[in-house]
Structure 1
Amino acid sequence: MAVIKSLLIFILAGLFEIGGGYLVWQWLKEDKPFWYGLTGGIILALYGVVATWQTANFGRVYAMYGGIFIVLALLWAWKVDGFKPDRYDIIGAVIALLGACIIIYTPRR
């Protein structure tokens, strides 16, 4: 159950970071209104708070988050921007996620 809770926190943090970053991107690169950027900045700050809900230390949390972020970024690009990940994107994401899971979830003494 602890692993599922941890994964859900990582996914929530990822959605906040990617969603907030996406809004800032839209404001600065796609000429959307200022409130896109402001809202994105607030959401990005919330990402930083959500990440602290993890129980592992900072280094392992952010290493694991890197793997989660890769997968979520590809999913976001696919569903929101119409980007179609190819097999190498998928293979790379699986490798990154597997490595990240080893870092954070492997039992240690």
Structure 2
Amino acid sequence: MRTIPIYTAAALAEIAGCFAFWAWFRLDKSILWLVPGMVSLAAFGWLLALVPAEQAGRAYAIYGGIYFAASLVWLWAVEGVRPDRWDLIGAAVCLTGAAIILWSPRTV
């Protein structure tokens, strides 16, 4: 299924774009950080539009669960902070909710 990789790529693109702004604003990095950040945020929007969902709201709801988990991966991989058990429990709850929305049988 290509849906999960698209959501994952969208989450990483959004997190990277937002982190670029964070780095400029909070970490005193160069304003040039905003250029790849804006490109990354544009890629996020494009990727999220590729998911095969009929309604945008449902696509965004599923994406939210993926985003939570990807944010914790970013926290660990990029910021060097290991998520604690409460982070992991919260991510599991979010991913469970996203899975229910994504794979629930729908009637037309």
TM-score, normalising length: structure 1: 0.92
The aligned residue for residue 93 of structure 1 is 91
5+ residue gaps in structure 1? none
Please tell me the residue identity of whatever aligns with 1:95: V
Structure 1 residue 38 displacement after superposition? 1.9
Runs of 4+ with >4 A deviation: none
Q: Distance in 1 between matches of 2:26 and 2:84?
A: 25
Conservation of the 8 A alpha-carbon contact between 1:11 and 1:68: yes
| Structure 2 unmatched runs, 5+ | none
Equivalenced residue count is: 106
Q: Report what 2:69 is aligned to.
A: 71
SS in 1 for 2:65: helix
1:15 matched to 2:9? The reply is no
CA RMSD after TM alignment: 0.9
Pairwise CA distance, 1:46:
1.4
Q: Give percent identity, aligned residues only.
A: 40
- Identify which range, 35-44 or 12-21, moves more after superposition: 35-44
